[in-house]
Amino acid sequence: MGAGITTAQGIRVLLARRAEAAGLGYMAPHDLKRSAARMMHEARSADGGHLFDLLDVADVLDHSNPKVTKDCYIGPLGNANKDRAAALFG
């Protein structure tokens, strides 16, 4: 493969090679997007506050509708928010 990877197939091949070399198994290009969303969602400041809100994550992922980000990327990460709220009000 040349210096510039411009095709979707080329990106998939490069990602597969790098994932295999890192011992990660199969990875799709979209896995990188999910990983970025998770890392941004879980990034915290020293006082524990979120560094990125939902709109920030949606913007980075190029989602025009933050509901897509919430439902498909942030929501599947678990119920930690609901658990914390239940402890607060419980």
Q: Which two structure tokens, joined as six digits, stand for 45?
A: 């400041």
Q: Which residues contact 24 (CB under 8 A, 6 or more apart)?
A: none
| Residue 75 Cα distances to 3, 22, 37, 69, angstroms | 38, 28, 11, 8
Predicted local distance difference test score (pLDDT) of residue 4: 59
How confident is the prediction along the chain (90 residues), in pLDDT tens digits per residue?
455 556 888 888 999 999 999 998 888 888 888 889 989 988 999 999 989 999 999 999 999 999 999 888 887 666 666 777 778 787
Q: Helix H segments across 1-90?
A: 8-21, 29-42, 54-60, 66-69, 80-89
Predicted local distance difference test score (pLDDT) of residue 52: 94
Predicted local distance difference test score (pLDDT) of residue 45: 93
Predicted local distance difference test score (pLDDT) of residue 78: 61
The structural domains of the chain, with segments of one domain joined by +, span: 28-89
